[in-house]
């Protein structure tokens, strides 16, 4: 495991990109940071800019306007960067599949490392997703 990947398993800084969500997943992400779940204990905190982030949390179904911006955000993030799709919309577009303003799911815009389904996923599920992803990174030898 190289040093960059090793660093990625501790104190993740997350950036939260809302690609046309309904807000609920976004609120649950903030909920994970507040006192009941309090993942700030483990050094996980919201980064103000994607350039400081280790993890990109994507919520919602990208539309024509947010699709390009999402791609640009991923390009701006320092690599290696992990991407987690939070919520059923980001995982599989659920009922917005037939919408005229939903060109493709998140994983066709940027590579996704972990999927957390649920509408919205409970904070516990989001934490479980992050823990599993860290486990995965620990057992990877190549670049994520």
Partner 1 sequence: MSHKVVVPIGPYHPLQEEPEYFRLYVEGEKVVDIDIVIGYLHRGIEKLSESKHFDQVAFLVERICGICSNSHPIAYCQAMEDLAGIQVPEKALYIRTIIAELERIHSHLLWLGLAGHFIGYNTVWMWAWKYREPVLDMFEMISGNRNHYAMMKIGGVRRDILDEDIPALKKTLDDLVPIVAMFKGAVMDDPVIQSRLKGVGILTKQQAIDWCVVGPTARASGLNMDLRRDDPYAAYDMVNWKVIVQEEGDIFAKTVVRILELGESISIIRQCLDKMPKGEFDANVKQIPAGVGIGRIEAPRGECFHYVKSDGTNRPIRHKIRAPSYMNVASNKVGAVGGTISDAAITLAAVDPCYCCTERTAVIEKSSDRKILNGFDLIKLSQDKTEALKERMGHGTIK
Binding residues for partner 1, per CB under 8 A? 16-31, 34-36, 46, 48-50, 60-61, 63-66, 69, 73, 95-96, 98-102, 119-120, 122
**Distance of closest approach, residue 4 Cβ to partner 1, in angstroms:** 24
Closer residue to partner 1 in complex, CB, 21/129 = 21
CA 37 remoteness from chain centre: 18
Closer residue to partner 1 in complex, CB, 96/107 = 96
Closer residue to partner 1 in complex, CB, 76/140 = 76
**Distance of closest approach, residue 140 Cβ to partner 1, in angstroms:** 28
| Cβ contact 10:131 at 8 Å | no
**Distance of closest approach, residue 24 Cβ to partner 1, in angstroms:** 3
């Amino acid at each position: 495991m190289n040093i960059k990947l090793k660093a990625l398993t501790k104190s993740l800084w997350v950036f939260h990109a809302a690609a046309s969500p309904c807000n609920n997943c976004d609120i649950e992400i903030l909920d994970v940071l507040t006192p009941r779940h309090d993942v700030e204990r483990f050094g996980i905190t919201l980064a103000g800019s994607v350039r400081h982030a280790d993890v990109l949390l994507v919520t919602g179904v990208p539309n024509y306007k947010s699709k390009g911006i999402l791609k640009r955000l991923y390009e701006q993030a320092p690599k290696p960067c992990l991407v987690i799709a939070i919520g059923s919309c980001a995982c599989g577009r659920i009922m917005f599949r037939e919408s005229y303003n939903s060109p493709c799911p998140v994983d066709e815009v940027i590579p996704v490392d972990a999927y957390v389904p649920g509408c919205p996923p409970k904070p516990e599920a989001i934490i479980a997703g992050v823990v599993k992803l860290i486990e995965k990174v620990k057992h990877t030898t190549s670049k994520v």
